[in-house]
Chains A and B, each alone.
Chain A
Amino acid sequence: MKLRLSADAIRLLIPALSLTVLLAAVFWLQPRAMSYVGLNLLFNLAVPIALATIAQMLIMAVNDLDLSMGTFVSFVACVTATFLRDAPLLGVLILAGAILVYAGLGVVIHLRNLPSIVVTLGMSFVWAGLAVLMLPAPGGQAPDWVRTLMTAKPPFVPMAIVASVFIAVIAHFLVMRSSLGVLIRGVGGNQRSVERAGWSVVYARAMAYGLAGLFAVAAGIALVGLTTSADANIALRYTLLSIAGVILGGGEFIGGRVSPIGAVVGALTLTLAGSFLSFLRISPDWQIGAQGAILIVVLALRLLLNRIENREKGR
């Protein structure tokens, strides 16, 4: 075997590197964060973001984009804090129905050849409306089992890290190792050749959307487990965070190039960027702008690396 890093490994390098640098910076600013409790606090909120990022990644794997991720996660959070606690069976049915709707969206988008951005943007209003109907004011309560799960204290390694690794491994097997994952990424890479090989592209899209719905549901439940109550606007940021996470983690908008491990790392990096800025005592007014600046720096590094890679190939 030649000693040569595969393109996928290079893709993972940047997100891993930026996470390490940020983490080192945080530890340097605030050495007390270097503990079980500290790490858990730092990465707690990364778990739902990582799940939402995986969901977005599945949709981006088939060259689409989901602009309803934030409102959908909010909707799921509201269902979790109300129905799933008070009438578990009904709650489960609602969530299962929502996943089916997601799969249906994939079918409609494919059959009618609609732009996914438009369809999901439309759906975002539907989800937001349903969420407001359920919880007009912040409230509700997390089901006990969710609370227990999210606040569990495994020995040695905090829950946030265990959960992130778990999510990354599951998503990696699903997307990178399974036949279904190959099919989904194949649709993103060259839809025509997938068709020519006799596969149903509708099926592949429906599965990608359905799985995305499943991960988004998990994101909503995890979020409520952390916050204990829900609100119709609780996760609106997730739409952009999830897209940023996928891109940060080495994914691309088109071409079926995605990396589940990278996506989870990207989500962790995004969360950490927020804490890092707080530790720097940057006023909240500037934080979003500073977060954007971090994103730009990391993505610029990616572009640079891509260029070097292309130049080598051109030879």
Chain B
Amino acid sequence: MTGQALQAVIEVAGARVSFGAVKALDGVTLAIMPGECVGLVGHNGAGKSTIVGVINGGLTPHEGTVSGDGAVIARYGIIAARSRGVRCVFQELSLCPNLTVVENTRLMHRQLGGFGWRARARAIIGRSLDTVFPGHGIDCELSVGELSIAERQMVEIAMAFSDAGITPRLVILDEPTSSLDASLAEQMLAHVRRFVGAGGSVIFISHILGEILSTADRIVVMKDGRIVAERPAADFTEHSLVEAMGSVVKGEERRRAARDLANAPVVLEHAGRGLPFRARRGEIVGLAGLAGHGQTGMLMKLHAASSGDWLPRKDPAVTFVAGDRRLNGVFELWSILRNFSIASLGDLSRQGLVQADAEAERGADWRKRIEIRTRDMGNGILSLSGGNQQKVLFARALSTRAPVVLMDDPMRGVDVGTKQEVYDIVRQEAANGRTFVWYSTEMEEVCLCDRVYVFREGAIVAELAGEAVTEESILAASFEGTAA
């Protein structure tokens, strides 16, 4: 411990993590030194959350090592991470809403038990809240569910910096300011600087580049599971950061021919916060921006607005392609054919009875059209690969008479070949007058759209059309802007 060069609090070396065919981390090496704040930026799927998962012990890398204070830790897990003082504030709420703030403190600090823990927990969280957010006015005896979203986030941040025996040494803040207003965010950032000044380390993830540039000492830019740039924060500007996040020049041949749709009738409209949403007949409209900034919510609203509440509509107005197949896509126990025909059963039945022949015929027709790789449509849906399951979901939506197709990031975890086939189908159908509203987390897909709405914090903040739909302008729009 004495006289040596400064050793990293946590060092990840050559970490590789893959989920199925997707490489989430592709050989990442990252060392966090004491007394520094590392800013971590990257677009969707760049691997930010995965590297955070590795550092906080929730994920074990398939390859690579984690070391702390100069020594490789063989069995690095959640408990090992916590005992080294690694804390994490997650993007989504990670407190128990049914418990009070004090009780949550008890849960977060395992070593707090024993008689009189309530008083100790109250003192600890109270002290931390007072330090990070002076004058916060939060009653620690209220259950977390009763607090406002900003208050919950404040409690969570204070929880990460609280000291109950094990001093926090590395605090990971994943989008901590997303629900704080400007003055609270300022208080938090000031505390981060104080904490770092006292020798602590912070990993800071935010989509507000101004915050990162002003708070971090060093900025790490990730893309496709790799670190593509790593420099002192002073060497970056907002513009150069955006540039570093983007990368490839698109193959121009993939780009659709620009189409003039200005005169096509509007089929879908929605006015909310931010710019109004509008989609014309035959148009492919992209919803872009960082994941979880309101795109799925918008699709749900569009769907709810144009489908019947209680009684089924005779002619469907919209149809939906789910992104999370397991959650709201496939019927796992059903055959491929049943999975395909469920959305158009109304057309396939007479007097309330399904016409088996018509169903089989239509199934065979679509199987040929989009090449579902199976010998028998009667096989179970799970016998197909993920990509082919997704194709069945596409066929389900496209075989209805609905003129509008809503797609909720449907290409998640689909192989490249299938993607190309589906892109072709989408373009064909659009040329035939169908409208597509397409939320995608992949740049390449967004760039296929005629027009793109960029979302930030639940509202549309930019509309790009035609030649303006480029990776650079989308990145700029989704990261642009000052603190919320």
Interface of A toward B, CB cutoff 8 Å: 1-2, 6-8, 177, 179, 182-183, 185-186, 188-190, 192-199, 255-257, 313
Q: Is the CB of B82 within 8 A of A189?
A: no
Q: Is the CB of B78 within 8 A of A196?
A: yes
Known: A196-B58, A198-B78, A198-B79. A186 touches B113 (CB 8 A): no
Q: Is the CB of B107 within 8 A of A182?
A: yes
Q: Is the CB of A313 within 8 A of B146?
A: yes
Complexed CA–CA distance, A8 and B141 (Å): 11
Flag B73-104 by CB within 8 Å of A: 1 or 0 each: 00000110010000010000111111100011
Q: Is the CB of A185 within 8 A of B98?
A: yes
Q: With CB as the reference atom, state the residue of chain B lying closest to A1.
A: B139
Complexed CA–CA distance, A257 and B79 (Å): 27
| Residue from the list B94, B103, B107 in contact with A199, Cβ < 8 A | B107
Q: With CB as the reference atom, state the residue of chain B lying closest to A198.
A: B79
| Residue from the list A2, A177, A185, A192 in contact with B99, Cβ < 8 A | A185
Q: Is the CB of A188 within 8 A of B95?
A: no
Sample of 20 further A-B pairs with CB below 8 A, known A6-B146, A7-B143, A196-B56: A6-B142, A7-B145, A7-B146, A177-B118, A182-B107, A185-B99, A185-B103, A186-B107, A189-B96, A189-B98, A190-B97, A193-B95, A196-B58, A196-B78, A197-B82, A197-B109, A198-B110, A199-B110, A257-B98, A313-B146
Complexed CA–CA distance, A22 and B104 (Å): 37
Q: Is the CB of B146 within 8 A of A194?
A: no
Known: A193-B107, A197-B108. A185 touches B96 (CB 8 A): yes
Residues of A within 8 Å of B88, CB to CB, are 196
Q: With CB as the reference atom, state the residue of chain A lying closest to B145.
A: A7
Complexed CA–CA distance, A178 and B109 (Å): 15
Q: Is B106 an interface residue (CB 8 A)?
A: yes
Residues of B within 8 Å of A8, CB to CB, are 143
- Count of A-B residue pairs with CB < 8 Å: 71
Residues of B within 8 Å of A1, CB to CB, are 139
Q: Is the CB of A186 within 8 A of B99?
A: yes
Q: With CB as the reference atom, state the residue of chain A lying closest to B82.
A: A198
Residues of B within 8 Å of A185, CB to CB, are 96, 98-99, 103
Q: Is B117 an interface residue (CB 8 A)?
A: yes
Q: With CB as the reference atom, state the residue of chain B lying closest to A180.
A: B113
Q: Is the CB of B106 within 8 A of A182?
A: yes
Residues of A within 8 Å of B117, CB to CB, are 179
Q: Say how far B107's CB is from chain A's closest CB, in angstroms.
A: 5
Complexed CA–CA distance, A188 and B99 (Å): 10
Q: With CB as the reference atom, state the residue of chain A lying closest to B56.
A: A196
Q: With CB as the reference atom, state the residue of chain A lying closest to B88.
A: A196
Residues of A within 8 Å of B99, CB to CB, are 182, 185-186, 189, 256
Q: Is the CB of A194 within 8 A of B143?
A: no
Complexed CA–CA distance, A150 and B305 (Å): 61
Interface centre among A192, A196, A256 (most CB of B within 10 A): A196
Q: Is the CB of A194 within 8 A of B98?
A: no
Q: With CB as the reference atom, state the residue of chain B lying closest to A313.
A: B146
Complexed CA–CA distance, A189 and B96 (Å): 5
Complexed CA–CA distance, A183 and B118 (Å): 14
Q: With CB as the reference atom, state the residue of chain B lying closest to A190.
A: B96
What are 20 contact pairs spanning A and B, CB under 8 A? A7-B142, A182-B99, A182-B103, A183-B107, A185-B99, A186-B107, A189-B97, A189-B99, A190-B94, A193-B94, A193-B95, A194-B107, A195-B78, A196-B78, A197-B108, A197-B110, A198-B82, A256-B96, A256-B98, A257-B98
Interface hits, B108-164 → A, CB 8 Å: 108-110, 113, 117-118, 139, 141-143, 145-146
Q: Say how far A254's CB is from chain B's closest CB, in angstroms.
A: 10
Q: Is the CB of A194 within 8 A of B58?
A: no
Complexed CA–CA distance, A1 and B117 (Å): 22
Closest 9 CB pairs of A and B: A189-B96, A189-B98, A193-B94, A190-B96, A256-B98, A198-B79, A186-B96, A182-B103, A257-B98
Q: Say how far B118's CB is from chain A's closest CB, in angstroms.
A: 8
Q: With CB as the reference atom, state the residue of chain A lying closest to B117.
A: A179
Interface centre among A7, A179, A185, A256 (most CB of B within 10 A): A179
